Structure 1
Amino acid sequence: MSHRLVLKNITHTFEDGGRQRTILNTLNLQVSEGELVAIMGPSGSGKSTFLSIAGALLKPTSGDVLVDGEAINRLDKQELADVRLHKLGFIFQSANLIPYLKVKEQLILVAKLSGMDKRIGARRTDEILRRLGLDHRSDAYPGKLSGGERQRVAIARALMNDPAVLLADEPTASLDATRGLDVVRMLAGEARELGKSAVMVTHDERILPLCDRILYLENGSLIEQ
């Protein structure tokens, strides 16, 4: 089994009032294909920094982030943008859907940005929406969707370019227990069935039984529960 996401000896520091602060301290993580890993920790423990580094939004002070074996933190700005578009799928707390685009248009936009052939993009959009039980909502605007449906659209959008890694930031924070469980169950299922490495930052203990591993971020390092 391959590890589609690997963080090796990640350290991240910054200067605060003339003092050097360490947020992540030689952090290591390997996420296998088909695996969903939950990352927990108190506010201020570095979860957002961790997710930004794993998602190629922030370069670590030292260490390497490997996606499908490639050290993405060593790439230039344009190469990083390509990695974010083609190798990484993001799912945010508030879904971050574009309010004036219909459900299917949210996905087609991703295909267009990546240069996907128009017919292939349309076919893939239909396939993913059907797979996630959203085909009957394809012409709905985000304002007409329930919170759970919006998060399912966010998962569909994240899957559009067949990424190696799925990264979710508090995806159940605005959902009730039933809808939160449904969303994470779907995320875990897609990771396993499609061979993705999935990482979810969460405070929601209700959904932990659906995860393959639970790690706690303490003192800049990950500790397995």
Structure 2
Amino acid sequence: MRHRLILDNITHTYEDGGTQRTVLDHLNLQVSEGEFVAVMGPSGSGKSTFLSIAGALLEPTSGTVLLDGESITGKEKQALSDMRLNKIGFIFQNANLIPYLKVEEQLMLVAKLGDMNKAKANERIRELLHTLGLNHRRNAYPDKLSGGERQRVAIARALMNDPAVLMADEPTASLDASRGMDVVRMIAGEAKERGKSAIMVTHDERVLPLCDRVFYLENGCLIEK
């Protein structure tokens, strides 16, 4: 099984009060297609920095990130933006939906940004809304949705352009235990059924049995639990 995402010897430092602080220290990770991994660690351990680098939002100080065999390190801003739009799906702690767009419109906007033709976009929207149990909410605005529904819309939005990799940052933090488990099951199912790679940063130990591997970020390195 091929590795969809590879972080090779990643180091990231920044200046803090005139001194250099190392957040990630020669970190390595390989995630295969169909694999769902969790990353844990205390606040300030570098989890957000790690996810930002893995998701092409932040350039590492040194090292290489490869997505489907292609290096994303050192690419131009527009190329990185296109890659994030088409190959990486982000799911954040808060759904961050656009308040004046209905559920269906949230997804159509992503399709338009990715230059998807309308017929294909409508088909993809129907598929996602059915899979995520949101058909009856397609014309609802975000303020009319429950917390669990908003997070499911956020997942649908992340999946709209069929990305190779999913990045989830504390996706259960704003949900109760039952809804949180449902959301993580959806992420795990998408990885397994569609051959995606999924990485989740989390503090929620209840969802760890749904993951294939669990890592702890410690002293800038990932240690498998």
Give me the whole-angstrom Cα distance separating, in 1, the residues matched to 2:136 and 2:18: 56
Give me the whole-angstrom Cα distance separating, in 1, the residues matched to 2:213 and 2:95: 24
Residue 25 (structure 1) aligns with: 25
Structure 1, unmatched stretches of 5+, are none
Residue 217 (structure 1) aligns with: 217
The correspondence of residues 1-225 of structure 1 with structure 2, limited to 5 A, is 1-225=1-225
The structural deviation recorded for 1:174 is 0.6
SS of 2:136's equivalent in the other structure is helix
Give me the whole-angstrom Cα distance separating, in 2, the residues matched to 1:32 and 1:4: 5
Give me the whole-angstrom Cα distance separating, in 2, the residues matched to 1:219 and 1:42: 11
SS of 1:28's equivalent in the other structure is strand
Show structure 1 runs of 4+ deviating over 2 A: none
Give me the whole-angstrom Cα distance separating, in 2, the residues matched to 1:105 and 1:118: 12
SS of 2:96's equivalent in the other structure is coil
SS of 2:28's equivalent in the other structure is strand
- Percent identity between the two aligned chains: 76
The structural deviation recorded for 1:47 is 0.3
The structural deviation recorded for 1:74 is 2.3
Give me the whole-angstrom Cα distance separating, in 2, the residues matched to 1:131 and 1:125: 10
Give me the whole-angstrom Cα distance separating, in 2, the residues matched to 1:7 and 1:135: 38
Give the TM-score taking structure 1 as reference length: 0.98
Give the TM-score taking structure 2 as reference length: 0.98
SS of 1:27's equivalent in the other structure is strand
Give me the whole-angstrom Cα distance separating, in 1, the residues matched to 2:199 and 2:18: 34
- 1:108 maps to amino acid: M
Give me the whole-angstrom Cα distance separating, in 1, the residues matched to 2:104 and 2:50: 31
Structure 2, unmatched stretches of 5+, are none
Give me the whole-angstrom Cα distance separating, in 1, the residues matched to 2:57 and 2:101: 25
Relative to structure 2, which stretch is displaced further, 72-81 or 82-91?
72-81
Aligned pairs, how many? 225
Give me the whole-angstrom Cα distance separating, in 2, the residues matched to 1:145 and 1:32: 34
Give me the whole-angstrom Cα distance separating, in 2, the residues matched to 1:196 and 1:135: 24
Give the superposed CA RMSD. 0.8
Relative to structure 2, which stretch is displaced further, 41-50 or 138-147?
138-147
- 1:82 maps to amino acid: D
Give me the whole-angstrom Cα distance separating, in 1, the residues matched to 2:96 and 2:73: 25
